[in-house]
Amino acid sequence: MLPKDLVDELMQFRAERDWQQFHTPRNLAISLSLEAGEVLELFQWEDRQGEALESVMPRLRDEVADVAVYLTYLCTDLGIDLEAAIREKMLKNRAKYPVALSKGSAKKYTEL
């Protein structure tokens, strides 16, 4: 999903620091979850919109980037083609959530 040159840059950054030894699938999954939690933390006590959202955008951009980096490491290490995985998931989602039943609804597919 990310451009190959950016993925290569991330992998080189990690290799130069010899961090791949710490990046087991378990550790990457934990780190991914923790970084996603930091995204969530920015909205913990306030439904940020407008100026309130703008005030946290620099940190939000950093946290979203951290999520993307850990996801990229995990997918690369496990041989997951992220674009293909997303496309496959979208096929499943289209079947689970047909427009006629789900448009404008936040219900889970089991409730449709």
pLDDT in tens, 4-41: 999 999 999 999 999 999 999 999 999 999 999 999 99
Alpha helices in the chain (DSSP H): 4-16, 25-41, 50-78, 82-96, 99-102
Coil, strand or helix at 29: helix
- Residue 112, pLDDT > 80, answer no
| Residue ranges of domains in the chain, CATH in brackets | 4-80 (1.10.287.1080), 82-112 (no CATH)
| pTM beyond cutoff 0.85 | yes
How does pLDDT run across 32-87, given as a tens digit for each residue? Answer: 999 999 999 998 888 888 887 888 999 999 999 999 999 999 999 999 999 999 99
| Rg, the chain, Cα only | 18
Residue 87 confidence (pLDDT):
97
- Residue 88, pLDDT > 80, answer yes
- Summarize the confidence of residues 85-97 as an average pLDDT: 96
Q: Is the dihedral of CA 29, 32, 34, 40 positive or negative?
A: negative
